Amino acid sequence: MIRLVTDDNIYQAAVIHSAAWKQAHSSFCTPEFVAIHTPERQMGYLNSVLEKGEKLYILLEMKGPVGIVSISENLIENLYVLPEEQGKGYGTKLLRFAIEQCKGHATLWVLNNNLGARRLYTRLGFTETGEVKHLSETLTEIEMRL
């Protein structure tokens, strides 16, 4: 079941965001930088997402919350699944849901080194637009559109 994130479940969403963000960024960020991304810090970030008017959703399964995604118009962001729940179809479920919520062509940005996410997006029909944001000498974000 996918539900809107509210004050009642934002901490659960922050726990997911924190764990998945740390797992996704630990190979190229310093341990100190990874460590500061606690659920409490990520809850502040997710509150700022909501304050900007984005819709934030949480995926609840029998075992509890497993993933989140946010949507603003046609932009999909913050697609995170708990590390121990990855590879079970939850990311696909959240992405398909997010696509349905988009107004127009669904668009997202992905880190160039996030090969698993890029495979998922490509499998569901997203293609690279050629737009790139350079974050460092080796790290970029790639725009993909459905």
Find where tokens 């459905």 sit: 146
pTM of the model: 0.93
Structure tokens, 107: 């668009």
* Residue type at position 132: V
Asked if 111 contacts 121 with a C-beta cutoff of 8 angstroms, the reply is no
Q: What are the tens digits of pLDDT across the range 11-67?
A: 999 999 999 999 999 988 899 999 999 999 999 999 999 999 999 999 999 989 999
Find where tokens 């495979």 sit: 119
Distances 110 to 2, 3, 61 between C-alpha atoms, Å: 23, 24, 26
C-alpha 97: how far from chain center: 13
Domains and CATH numbers, the chain: 2-103 (3.40.630.30)
Longest dimension (CA), the chain: 43
Q: What are the tens digits of pLDDT across the range 82-126?
A: 999 999 999 999 999 999 999 889 999 999 999 989 999 999 999
Find where tokens 């998922």 sit: 120
